[in-house]
Chains A and B, each alone.
Chain A
């Protein structure tokens, strides 16, 4: 029973008493994990709905998930081998090892940016944990990445069979680190877009710059040789999670060797920190989504 009968205090004092206290960070994370596990079916449904839509709206349907990374690779192969005249052996495989995870990341992020604002109406109608929306984007991206492994396998088997090694089995481990990182970025971006609509315009360009700054079309050793006199600059460069991720993918796919574990662990640590921060920020913003949208 709420004590508003026959009170002698002033209204403001009573109001202050009723004001809700925000939960601590540990509670927030625990609640979020619990809610997401409870709503895993909703996430699965959203992913399935998204796949259905994307498949139904184009003539070639889901074949595009295989064609898309292949065509992107083709563009860069033409650009780099014919115009820049790179002499690297098996260059298509070299860049494909980076383009595939990058496509996954960039398409997920593009999707996540609109995941909340695109569901404006249902948010104003039904109560549900909004975090499932960016997570569904991550899930959808993961599936298209899995499809992307088909052209990768084809490329390896048909043209570059000498590059096949048991280290390829580590792709899921590296991909798992990338999932954590992608979740963090997607959650943060989806929440912030509600408040800053221009974020959608910014992401496209930010992604492009990020891609060229990351060792996708070139190897890290090229950056390292450029920065021989400035070791600290190279360290800074390596802090980019995609430097570590691309290198790791390339180690197992192109070089057929073990990834640099230290680097991968650092990327994982960065990703976990980002994810925790993203969830905390998201939960703070979430309560006003229905008001701002």
Chain B
């Protein structure tokens, strides 16, 4: 059977010389100092895992471990520098919510525009429009420009759009804490529903209870490498322990071999870690 998500030896490299502050002057300076300093940074390297249909994977790890990069690669936003990924089915990603809105356009226009960006059928989008507006609960503001929205309204609308269409593969990045308490309950319910219908889920979270309560598997990322993988509770325990060590000023074993906590179940043999 084909897995919903199959990731093999994935590596994503950032070029430190190319960044947003780049100007022509900087480029000349870079050329002059070409040989000096690190030129590349591997945000992810040698990451392999599989997610089968009907399963959900939690990705946990400290800040800067490459969790969001991993989701961006799975969503097709970033291309792998090396390695391969295969995602079977339609992907919906809930990355940074509502950040892509056009502030001068009305909420309604932004819903339709977002649908077009995601490549959804416009008839479907028009049909879902009332439902999206209803769920976002922003009342008559729907025809006002987005710039007049509060940040909560913005996030609610973003969540409502991203979850309006049932995806085959759902990617979630820290989205479960948007809005006020009422909306949070409502959105958690919807995520739970989606998790039931979606064929596979990858969830990036700092909320360990989500990892243990809703996911079949978990991987722990640190500095772009998988450090532990397998049963969510075991992986969360390892993560908590290592975070504790870091807080106490100790350095946990920098790159330990993959801790086997049911590796075979996500298609990873311990042997691949040493390769």
Which residues of A are interface residues toward B (Cβ below 8 A)?
A: 1-2, 4-7, 9-11, 14-15, 18-20, 38-39, 41-42, 45-46, 49, 52-53, 56-57, 119, 121-128, 195-198, 287-288, 290-293
Contacts and interface: CB of A to CB of B under 8 A. Distances in A.
B18 interface: yes
Contact of A41 (B76, B100, B116): B116
Given A6-B269, A7-B272, A290-B78, 20 more contacts: A1-B6, A2-B9, A2-B84, A4-B272, A5-B271, A15-B82, A45-B112, A45-B116, A49-B102, A52-B109, A125-B77, A125-B99, A125-B100, A126-B100, A126-B118, A127-B77, A195-B18, A197-B22, A198-B23, A287-B79
B191 interface: no
Given A4-B8, A52-B105, A122 B18 contact: no
B21 to A, nearest CB: 8
A288 B11 CA distance: 14
Interface in B28-66: 46, 48
B244 interface: no
Interface string B79-113: 11011100000000101100110101100010011
Give the one of A49, A122, A126 with max B CB within 10 A: A126
B11 A197 contact: no
A4 B117 contact: no
> When A and B form their complex, which 3 residue pairs have the shortest distance between CB atoms, in order from nearest?
A122-B100, A2-B8, A127-B76
Given A7-B275, A292-B18, A53 B76 contact: no
Given A5-B272, A126-B118, A128-B117, A15 B104 contact: no
Contacts of B247: none
B109 A18 contact: no
A291 B119 CA distance: 22
B6 A124 contact: no
A49 to B, nearest CB: 6
Give the one of A45, A119, A127 with max B CB within 10 A: A127
B22 A195 contact: yes
B256 to A, nearest CB: 17
| Chain B interface bracket (under 10, 10 to 19, 20 to 34, 35 or more) | 35 or more
Nearest to B25: A198
B122 A41 contact: yes
Contacts of B181: none
14 contacts: A2-B6, A5-B269, A15-B82, A18-B82, A18-B84, A39-B119, A49-B105, A53-B105, A121-B100, A122-B100, A125-B100, A196-B22, A291-B14, A291-B15
Contact of A198 (B9, B19, B24, B269): B24
B80 A124 contact: no
B109 A49 contact: yes
A14 B113 contact: no
A218 B233 CA distance: 78
B75 interface: yes
Interface of B: 6, 8-9, 11, 14-15, 18-25, 27, 46, 48, 72, 75-80, 82-84, 93, 95-96, 99-100, 102, 104-105, 109, 112-114, 116-119, 122, 269, 271-272, 275
A122 B117 contact: yes
B46 A19 contact: no
A124 B96 contact: yes
Contact of A121 (B9, B99, B116): B99
B70 to A, nearest CB: 13
A292 B275 contact: no
B117 A11 contact: no
Contacts of B117: 42, 122, 126, 128
Contacts of A41: 116, 122
A18 B104 contact: no
Nearest to A199: B24
Contacts of B104: 53, 56-57
Nearest to B119: A128
Contacts of B24: 196, 198
Contacts of A9: 275
Contacts of B18: 195, 288, 291-292
A293 B72 CA distance: 14
A178 B275 CA distance: 56
A288 B8 contact: no
Contacts of A195: 18, 22
B96 A291 contact: no
B275 A293 contact: no
A290 B22 contact: no
Contact of B23 (A52, A197, A290): A197
Contacts of B80: 20
Contacts of B48: 2, 4
Contact of A11 (B15, B46, B75, B84): B46
